[in-house]
Amino acid sequence: MEDTTAVVTIQISPANDDKYLALKTEVEGLCRSIEGMTVDSHSAVARITEDVNLAQKTGNQIEKLRKAYKDPLVQYGKQIDAAFKPLSEPIENARQVASKKIVGYNNIQRAEQARIADENARKAREAAELQQMINEENERIRQQQKVDTETGEITGPELIAPEPEPEYVAPPPVVQKATTELGSATEKMVPKFRLVDITKVPASHLLLNERTVKAVLSGGVREIPGLEIWEEADISFRAK
Protein backbone atom coordinates (compact mmCIF):
# COMPACT_ATOMS: atom_id res chain seq x y z
CA MET A 1 0.00 0.00 0.00
CA GLU A 2 1.35 3.40 -0.99
CA ASP A 3 2.37 5.68 1.89
CA THR A 4 0.52 8.99 1.49
CA THR A 5 1.86 10.59 4.67
CA ALA A 6 2.77 14.23 3.99
CA VAL A 7 6.10 15.56 5.22
CA VAL A 8 5.89 19.20 6.28
CA THR A 9 8.95 21.29 7.09
CA ILE A 10 8.23 23.96 9.69
CA GLN A 11 10.69 26.64 10.79
CA ILE A 12 10.72 26.85 14.57
CA SER A 13 13.47 29.33 15.48
CA PRO A 14 13.82 32.67 13.64
CA ALA A 15 17.13 33.52 15.32
CA ASN A 16 19.18 32.95 12.15
CA ASP A 17 16.61 34.29 9.68
CA ASP A 18 18.00 37.27 7.68
CA LYS A 19 14.60 39.02 7.82
CA TYR A 20 14.49 38.60 11.58
CA LEU A 21 18.04 39.88 12.02
CA ALA A 22 17.34 42.93 9.80
CA LEU A 23 14.22 43.77 11.80
CA LYS A 24 16.14 43.34 15.05
CA THR A 25 18.76 45.86 13.90
CA GLU A 26 16.07 48.29 12.78
CA VAL A 27 14.17 48.00 16.07
CA GLU A 28 17.31 48.60 18.13
CA GLY A 29 18.16 51.72 16.11
CA LEU A 30 14.62 53.16 16.30
CA CYS A 31 14.35 52.53 20.03
CA ARG A 32 17.74 54.21 20.67
CA SER A 33 16.64 57.20 18.60
CA ILE A 34 13.26 57.57 20.34
CA GLU A 35 14.61 57.01 23.86
CA GLY A 36 17.50 59.41 23.33
CA MET A 37 15.49 62.20 21.71
CA THR A 38 14.62 65.33 23.70
CA VAL A 39 11.18 66.77 22.90
CA ASP A 40 11.46 70.53 23.45
CA SER A 41 9.91 72.01 20.30
CA HIS A 42 7.28 71.48 17.62
CA SER A 43 9.93 70.18 15.25
CA ALA A 44 11.10 67.69 17.89
CA VAL A 45 7.52 66.46 18.25
CA ALA A 46 7.44 65.95 14.47
CA ARG A 47 10.75 64.06 14.49
CA ILE A 48 9.79 61.70 17.31
CA THR A 49 6.38 61.19 15.69
CA GLU A 50 8.12 60.23 12.44
CA ASP A 51 10.28 57.71 14.29
CA VAL A 52 7.25 56.20 16.05
CA ASN A 53 5.37 55.96 12.74
CA LEU A 54 8.36 54.17 11.26
CA ALA A 55 8.48 51.90 14.30
CA GLN A 56 4.81 51.07 13.79
CA LYS A 57 5.46 50.08 10.18
CA THR A 58 8.36 47.96 11.40
CA GLY A 59 6.00 46.45 13.96
CA ASN A 60 3.66 45.42 11.16
CA GLN A 61 6.55 43.65 9.42
CA ILE A 62 7.47 41.95 12.71
CA GLU A 63 3.90 40.76 13.18
CA LYS A 64 3.81 39.42 9.61
CA LEU A 65 7.04 37.47 10.13
CA ARG A 66 5.88 36.22 13.54
CA LYS A 67 2.69 34.84 11.99
CA ALA A 68 4.69 33.25 9.19
CA TYR A 69 6.54 31.25 11.85
CA LYS A 70 3.65 30.63 14.24
CA ASP A 71 0.64 29.98 12.00
CA PRO A 72 1.92 26.67 10.56
CA LEU A 73 2.65 25.49 14.11
CA VAL A 74 -0.81 26.56 15.27
CA GLN A 75 -2.46 24.76 12.36
CA TYR A 76 -0.33 21.68 12.98
CA GLY A 77 -1.26 21.81 16.67
CA LYS A 78 -4.95 22.00 15.75
CA GLN A 79 -4.58 18.97 13.51
CA ILE A 80 -2.93 17.03 16.33
CA ASP A 81 -5.68 18.07 18.78
CA ALA A 82 -8.36 17.06 16.28
CA ALA A 83 -6.71 13.68 15.76
CA PHE A 84 -6.54 12.91 19.50
CA LYS A 85 -9.94 14.35 20.43
CA PRO A 86 -11.86 11.18 19.44
CA LEU A 87 -9.63 9.28 21.85
CA SER A 88 -9.61 11.66 24.82
CA GLU A 89 -13.25 12.81 24.73
CA PRO A 90 -14.81 9.34 25.24
CA ILE A 91 -12.56 8.78 28.25
CA GLU A 92 -13.63 12.06 29.83
CA ASN A 93 -17.29 11.31 29.04
CA ALA A 94 -16.91 7.85 30.58
CA ARG A 95 -15.39 9.40 33.70
CA GLN A 96 -18.36 11.75 34.01
CA VAL A 97 -20.81 8.88 33.50
CA ALA A 98 -19.06 6.83 36.20
CA SER A 99 -19.07 9.85 38.53
CA LYS A 100 -22.82 10.36 38.05
CA LYS A 101 -23.49 6.68 38.70
CA ILE A 102 -21.49 6.66 41.94
CA VAL A 103 -23.11 9.91 43.10
CA GLY A 104 -26.53 8.47 42.14
CA TYR A 105 -25.89 5.34 44.21
CA ASN A 106 -24.67 7.40 47.16
CA ASN A 107 -27.72 9.67 46.89
CA ILE A 108 -29.93 6.58 47.19
CA GLN A 109 -27.91 5.55 50.25
CA ARG A 110 -28.23 9.03 51.73
CA ALA A 111 -32.00 9.02 51.14
CA GLU A 112 -32.20 5.65 52.89
CA GLN A 113 -30.07 7.00 55.74
CA ALA A 114 -32.49 9.91 56.15
CA ARG A 115 -35.50 7.56 56.08
CA ILE A 116 -33.95 5.26 58.68
CA ALA A 117 -32.93 8.22 60.84
CA ASP A 118 -36.52 9.48 60.78
CA GLU A 119 -37.79 5.99 61.60
CA ASN A 120 -35.33 5.60 64.49
CA ALA A 121 -36.27 9.04 65.77
CA ARG A 122 -39.97 8.08 65.63
CA LYS A 123 -39.29 4.87 67.57
CA ALA A 124 -37.30 6.77 70.21
CA ARG A 125 -40.02 9.42 70.51
CA GLU A 126 -42.81 6.84 70.85
CA ALA A 127 -40.77 4.81 73.36
CA ALA A 128 -40.15 7.95 75.44
CA GLU A 129 -43.86 8.85 75.36
CA LEU A 130 -44.85 5.30 76.35
CA GLN A 131 -42.29 5.24 79.16
CA GLN A 132 -43.64 8.57 80.39
CA MET A 133 -47.15 7.06 80.52
CA ILE A 134 -45.78 4.03 82.38
CA ASN A 135 -43.98 6.28 84.88
CA GLU A 136 -47.17 8.25 85.50
CA GLU A 137 -49.21 5.06 85.91
CA ASN A 138 -46.60 3.57 88.27
CA GLU A 139 -46.79 6.73 90.37
CA ARG A 140 -50.54 6.19 90.77
CA ILE A 141 -49.93 2.52 91.59
CA ARG A 142 -47.42 3.44 94.29
CA GLN A 143 -50.05 5.60 95.93
CA GLN A 144 -52.39 2.58 96.04
CA GLN A 145 -49.77 0.19 97.44
CA LYS A 146 -49.33 -0.40 101.15
CA VAL A 147 -46.16 -1.29 103.01
CA ASP A 148 -46.26 -3.53 106.07
CA THR A 149 -44.27 -1.65 108.71
CA GLU A 150 -43.16 -4.89 110.36
CA THR A 151 -42.26 -7.05 107.37
CA GLY A 152 -41.69 -4.38 104.76
CA GLU A 153 -43.91 -6.36 102.42
CA ILE A 154 -45.63 -4.30 99.72
CA THR A 155 -49.20 -5.18 98.93
CA GLY A 156 -51.48 -3.89 96.22
CA PRO A 157 -51.26 -3.67 92.45
CA GLU A 158 -47.87 -4.40 90.90
CA LEU A 159 -45.81 -1.80 89.09
CA ILE A 160 -45.69 -1.90 85.31
CA ALA A 161 -42.34 -3.08 83.92
CA PRO A 162 -40.27 -0.47 82.05
CA GLU A 163 -40.68 -0.37 78.27
CA PRO A 164 -37.78 -2.20 76.57
CA GLU A 165 -35.43 -0.13 74.39
CA PRO A 166 -36.69 -0.10 70.79
CA GLU A 167 -34.70 -1.87 68.11
CA TYR A 168 -32.94 0.68 65.95
CA VAL A 169 -31.89 -0.01 62.37
CA ALA A 170 -28.31 0.79 61.38
CA PRO A 171 -28.21 3.17 58.36
CA PRO A 172 -26.49 1.94 55.17
CA PRO A 173 -23.02 3.39 54.56
CA VAL A 174 -22.15 5.85 51.79
CA VAL A 175 -19.13 5.00 49.64
CA GLN A 176 -16.83 7.94 50.33
CA LYS A 177 -13.78 6.21 48.89
CA ALA A 178 -13.39 3.11 46.77
CA THR A 179 -9.87 1.76 46.38
CA THR A 180 -8.73 -0.71 43.73
CA GLU A 181 -5.39 -2.00 42.51
CA LEU A 182 -5.32 0.71 39.82
CA GLY A 183 -6.41 3.69 41.92
CA SER A 184 -9.37 5.04 43.79
CA ALA A 185 -12.58 7.05 43.58
CA THR A 186 -13.27 9.59 46.32
CA GLU A 187 -16.48 11.48 46.89
CA LYS A 188 -16.26 15.02 48.18
CA MET A 189 -18.95 17.63 48.63
CA VAL A 190 -18.28 20.57 46.30
CA PRO A 191 -20.00 23.89 47.16
CA LYS A 192 -22.21 25.31 44.40
CA PHE A 193 -24.21 28.53 44.19
CA ARG A 194 -26.80 30.37 42.18
CA LEU A 195 -27.72 34.05 42.33
CA VAL A 196 -30.91 34.77 44.26
CA ASP A 197 -30.71 38.50 45.08
CA ILE A 198 -27.72 40.49 43.85
CA THR A 199 -28.59 43.42 46.13
CA LYS A 200 -27.73 41.25 49.14
CA VAL A 201 -24.38 40.02 47.79
CA PRO A 202 -21.43 41.68 49.64
CA ALA A 203 -19.47 44.15 47.52
CA SER A 204 -16.30 42.09 48.06
CA HIS A 205 -17.89 39.28 45.98
CA LEU A 206 -18.87 41.49 43.04
CA LEU A 207 -16.67 42.18 40.00
CA LEU A 208 -16.65 45.58 38.32
CA ASN A 209 -17.37 45.31 34.60
CA GLU A 210 -14.46 47.43 33.38
CA ARG A 211 -15.32 46.88 29.71
CA THR A 212 -18.76 48.41 30.20
CA VAL A 213 -17.33 51.30 32.22
CA LYS A 214 -14.76 52.08 29.52
CA ALA A 215 -17.47 51.90 26.86
CA VAL A 216 -19.71 54.46 28.56
CA LEU A 217 -16.69 56.70 29.29
CA SER A 218 -15.80 56.58 25.60
CA GLY A 219 -19.39 57.58 24.90
CA GLY A 220 -18.96 60.76 26.93
CA VAL A 221 -20.28 59.77 30.37
CA ARG A 222 -18.30 61.47 33.13
CA GLU A 223 -20.32 60.65 36.24
CA ILE A 224 -20.88 57.14 37.57
CA PRO A 225 -21.95 56.69 41.24
CA GLY A 226 -19.16 55.09 43.28
CA LEU A 227 -16.42 55.84 40.73
CA GLU A 228 -13.89 58.67 40.59
CA ILE A 229 -13.42 59.71 36.96
CA TRP A 230 -10.64 61.90 35.58
CA GLU A 231 -8.83 62.47 32.29
CA GLU A 232 -5.19 61.89 31.40
CA ALA A 233 -3.44 62.90 28.20
CA ASP A 234 -2.61 60.10 25.77
CA ILE A 235 -1.00 60.24 22.33
CA SER A 236 -2.41 58.25 19.42
CA PHE A 237 0.06 57.45 16.62
CA ARG A 238 -1.08 56.45 13.13
CA ALA A 239 1.31 55.43 10.42
CA LYS A 240 0.45 56.26 6.76
Cβ contacts of residue 45 below 8 Å, gap of 6+?
39
Residues of 90-108 as b/e, b for ≥16 C-beta within 10 angstroms?
A: eeeeeeeeeeeeeeeebee
Tell if the pTM clears 0.75, that is, is over it.
no
- 6-63 pLDDT per residue, tens: 555 667 788 889 999 999 999 999 999 999 999 999 999 999 999 999 999 999 999 9
| Contact by Cβ (8 Å): 47, 33 | no
How do the domains of the chain map onto residue ranges?
Answer: 10-111
Sign (positive or negative) of CA dihedral 26, 29, 24, 48: negative
Cα distances (angstroms) measured from residue 13 to each of 66, 70, 77, 194: 10, 10, 17, 48
Q: How far apart are CA 39 and CA 46, in angstroms?
A: 9
- 151-180 pLDDT per residue, tens: 778 888 888 898 888 999 999 888 888 898
- For residue 49, the tally of other CB atoms under 10 A from its CB is 15
